[in-house]
Amino acid sequence: MSLEAFAVLAAALFGVGLHGALGQRSVVMLMMGLELMLGGVVVGAAAVRHYLTPDVAEGQVLVLLVVTAMAVEMAVGFAVVTALFRARDVDTTDLAAELRR
């Protein structure tokens, strides 16, 4: 595959994630949109790194670390959402914004 194909894939992932993050009221869908956006950034960065220096493995290690951090962030986020839902029956961003008061 060419760099342009990876760039289109990264842009599509980022665009779908942006739509999901800005257009949804559910906290879970918001988190999924953010994860898609991060996935698009990772795909784009990995593709550029591969095409600039294909013989260096540092880019692969960086991608592995970022994907691991994304998985940990998603697990912690779901734990917080589950705790909010169990404690106060909050499942949308509108209701979560009222928790500051």
CATH number at 83 reads 1.10.287.3510
- Mean per-residue pLDDT for 18-44? 89
Residue 26 to residues 21, 61, 92, Cα–Cα distance (Å): 9, 33, 4
Global pTM reads 0.78
pLDDT at 49 over 70: yes
d(CA 94, CA 90): 9
Percent of the chain at pLDDT > 70 equals 90
Task: Return the sign of the alpha-carbon dihedral for residues 81, 86, 92, 94.
Answer: negative
pLDDT at 58 over 60: yes
Query: How many domains, the chain?
Result: 1
Residue at 21: amino acid letter = A
pLDDT at 70 over 90: no
| Higher-confidence position of 84 and 47 | 47
**Can you give the residue range of the structural domain that contains 66?**
3-100
